[in-house]
Amino acid sequence: MTNARTQPGEDSKAIAGESPCFAKALAASDIAGIRVCNLSEDEAIAAIERLVAAGGSHYAAVVNAAKLVAANTDDKLKRALLEADLVTADGMSVVWASRLLGHPLKERVTGIDMFERLAARAADRDWAVYFLGARDESVRGTVERLIIAHPKLRVAGYCNGYFKASESAAVARAINESKADLLFVAMGSPAQEYWIAENVGLAGVRFALGVGGSFDHVSGLARRAPQWMRRCGLEWLYRLIREPRRLWRRYLIGNSVFLWLVVRQRFLGSRQ
Ligand code: UDP
């Protein structure tokens, strides 16, 4: 995907081979119909650096079990994931599934970890960053904390994620006018994947990433699961205990359907 801010001589295909989709040029594991890139976190960050340097507008998405299940019945989400330049495993269950399917992913590469590392990288590289999503105090708190952590960080702007669909194009144009290089979108799924796929070109950023509830965590308004739970792949359980009414369907039904999809793929092969 290219846009008006692409510089002469810049060509996204230079890094993507003949494929318009960077992910297709990388080793990947097909999980429930989505190609999840087999990259370590360091490799994912390096790949994103190359996307930023290549010019044009690119985006990455992270997937957990619930998102892969949703993409099975939601064509718009599926298309957004298939057209992403990079897809990584946000949930440990996706890594376990890749092992069961015989194409093991190196590791989990979460949205929030990439977000924090890319914010640091942006400060080093002088990339301007725009933050879109979450409630006002959350997005503002995120920006404040990141500026304290990285005083050289160039903030192109920020906006909460509670705008009407009819205001989307205006939000994207405002991002374009801000001359942001990176865009982080924290509006939850599938809203953030839809928004990025539809608007990344209009927003004119070099790279966009959907980061779910990350602004609530980075701002300190919500707590992330302790390290040991993250290591054991139990972050979902921590979140379920804290917000059972909102999340029980996503995790209990979502994880069961995901298991079924993976087992079916393992024994009957991919339907793709
Ligand atoms: N959110 C938003 N706009 C909306 C609905 C939600 O910006 O219309 C924000 C919400 O404030 C929260 C994030 O989206 O910060 C959703 O977080 P969630 O934990 O659902 O994300 P996940 O990482 O689980 O996809």
Mean pLDDT value across the chain: 90
Provide the pLDDT confidence category of residue 222 given band limits of 50, 70 and 90.
Answer: very high
Q: Confirm or reject: Cβ of 215 under 6 Å from ligand 1.
A: yes
The atom of ligand 1 lying closest to the CA of 161 is 7
pLDDT at 23: 54
Q: Residue 1 falls within a domain, yes or no?
A: no
Distance 39 CA to ligand 1 centre (A): 26
Kindly report the protein residue whose alpha carbon is nearest to atom 1 of ligand 1.
187
Please count the structural domains in the chain: 1
CB 153 within 8 A of CB 181: no
Kindly report the protein residue whose alpha carbon is nearest to atom 22 of ligand 1.
212
Q: Confirm or reject: Cβ of 187 under 6 Å from ligand 1.
A: yes
pLDDT at 271: 52
Helix axes 92-100, 254-268, angle to 10 degrees: 20
Region of poorest pLDDT, from 160-169, 203-212, 244-253, 256-265: 244-253
Q: Residue 232 falls within a domain, yes or no?
A: no
Average pLDDT on 144-165 reads 98
pLDDT at 66: 93
Predicted confidence (pLDDT) at residue 30 exceeds the cutoff of 60: yes
pLDDT at 250: 84
Distance 187 CA to ligand 1 centre (A): 4
Question: Which of 168, 216, 239 best tests ligand 1's pocket when mutated (most atoms within 8 Å of CB)?
Answer: 216
Percent of the chain scored above 70 by pLDDT? 89
Q: Residue 249 falls within a domain, yes or no?
A: no
Predicted confidence (pLDDT) at residue 1 exceeds the cutoff of 80: no
Q: Residue 180 falls within a domain, yes or no?
A: yes
Distance 211 CA to ligand 1 centre (A): 9
Q: Residue 231 falls within a domain, yes or no?
A: no
Model confidence pLDDT, tens digit, residues 78-87: 999 999 999 9
Q: Residue 71 falls within a domain, yes or no?
A: yes
Predicted confidence (pLDDT) at residue 7 exceeds the cutoff of 80: no
Kindly report the protein residue whose alpha carbon is nearest to atom 10 of ligand 1.
134
Model confidence pLDDT, tens digit, residues 90-140: 999 999 999 999 999 999 999 999 999 999 999 999 999 999 999 999 999
Domain of 44 in residue numbering reads as 13-218
Structure tokens at 8: 């002469």
Q: Residue 4 falls within a domain, yes or no?
A: no
CB 161 within 8 A of CB 183: no
CB 12 within 8 A of CB 2: yes
Region of poorest pLDDT, from 151-160, 223-232, 254-263: 223-232
Kindly report the protein residue whose alpha carbon is nearest to atom 11 of ligand 1.
134
Q: Residue 96 falls within a domain, yes or no?
A: yes
Average pLDDT on 246-253 reads 88
Q: What is the CATH number of the domain that holds 199?
A: 3.40.50.10700
* pTM of the predicted model as reported, rounded to 2 decimal places: 0.90
23 contact partners, CB below 8 Å, separation of at least 6: 35, 37, 84, 85, 86, 87
Distance 186 CA to ligand 1 centre (A): 6
Distance 136 CA to ligand 1 centre (A): 12
